[in-house]
Amino acid sequence: MLTRTAPTTGPDTGLLASLGAWTWPGTAADGQQVAHLLLAHRLGRTSHDTPAAIEARMRHLAETLGGLARAEDPAPETLGTLVTVGSHVLLRFPGARWGLKLPAHPQWTRLVHDNGRAALVLGLDPLAQWADAPRVDAYLDAALARGRLLFGFARRTSRTA
């Protein structure tokens, strides 16, 4: 779901509307609990949604976020911010008019609040929005093995919307 934010330049509404988002609590490399967020392009619905076009859109989004890392590199802090909106969490993109409302279980939201950030995973390949946990796990395993995931951290802002 898109939620309007201040008007500026950045990822367009079409790109943001084409994103699917999945959230889950997990464990970081250091053993600490961390909120995870996967962003992937929805499956193509038009002839313009070729695999190459989808990858280009996702790489553009990664650049907008300030650059994301490959699995073997340290994950950077991104320019994306997490904003609490009531009981929901909104991911804001630099220069975007809109934010992306994230699916958030209370345990995930609590981790974001307590840790002040979420591990952001950006998939370069499409994933059906209806994908359940086993399909998301299979997507992550396959994409990781092929180097098709980018990583970073999105910080929670102290302000609420």
Separation CA 13–CA 59 (nearest Å):
16
What order do you get walking across the sheet with 2-4 strand by strand? 2-4, 98-102, 88-92, 77-85, 149-160, 117-123, 33-41, 19-27
**DSSP-assigned beta bridge partners for residue 123:** 149
- Kindly give the confidence (pLDDT) of every residue in the chain, 161 residues in length, as a single tens digit, with 9 standing for 90 and above: 555 554 455 788 888 889 999 999 998 878 889 999 999 999 877 778 899 999 999 999 999 999 999 999 999 999 999 998 777 899 999 988 888 999 989 999 999 999 999 999 999 999 999 999 999 999 999 999 999 999 999 999 866 55
- The DSSP element (H or E) to which 114 belongs, if any, is helix 106-115
